[in-house]
Amino acid sequence: MTKSAAKTQAPPQAPPQPQRPWWLTLIGGILAIVVGALLLWGNLVTQVKTYFLLVEVLGIWWLVDGIFDIVHLFTDHRQWGWKLFIGIVSIIAGGYILMYPVLVGLELPSLFVLILGIWGVIKGCVMFFMAFKGGGAAYAILGIFAIFFGIILIAAYTVRERA
């Protein structure tokens, strides 16, 4: 192969990824503003109805997403064990939410606190270890804060559950 032929031959490129249409993002943003306004400034009845609507939408989302995960398993066989597991867990969670929306609606805020606490501890550990891989002192400090506040959230959830 000559030098000129090597220059004209382009390296292989990945196929273009489909872009999300701008109008979907716009619609999602408008819906988020409407729901947020209802939750913040609506009367108490409107706030409760909106909250439980969001709980039911979460249940429907997880149920449909779990079905899609399992269907996707048949077209893409990579990591099929994880896809099957996530699909089954999503279907069970979505079904549970749809069967007991009031119970889930009452427990969801405290469960969210626990999830945020666990996420904070994990993210803090990652940031702390990234500080030693070249991230700098700021990563270490932020990691320590994230771990500290994550532990506080987990402790608050634990104390609430015991009471």
Look at residue 74 and tell me if it is in a domain: yes
- The string of pLDDT tens digits covering residues 83-101 is 899 999 999 999 999 999 9
Q: How far apart are CA 138 and CA 156, in angstroms?
A: 27
| Domain count across the chain | 2
Look at residue 40 and tell me if it is in a domain: yes
50 plus 94 within the same structural domain: yes
Look at residue 22 and tell me if it is in a domain: no
- The string of pLDDT tens digits covering residues 54-82 is 899 989 999 999 999 899 888 888 888 88
For residue 72, the model assigns a pLDDT of 87
Look at residue 108 and tell me if it is in a domain: yes
Tell me the residue range of the domain where 38 lies.
Answer: 32-99
Look at residue 86 and tell me if it is in a domain: yes
| pTM: predicted TM-score of the whole model, two decimal places | 0.61
Look at residue 17 and tell me if it is in a domain: no
Going by C-beta distance under 8 Å and a sequence separation of 6 or more, which residues neighbour residue 120? 146, 147, 149, 150, 151, 153
133 plus 144 within the same structural domain: yes
CB 63 within 8 A of CB 94: yes
Of 73, 99, 125, which residue constitutes the final position of a domain?
Answer: 99
Question: Where residue 18 falls among pLDDT bands split at 50, 70, 90?
Answer: low
Q: What is the DSSP letter of 131?
A: I
93 plus 36 within the same structural domain: yes
- The string of pLDDT tens digits covering residues 19-54 is 767 888 899 889 989 988 988 898 999 989 988 998
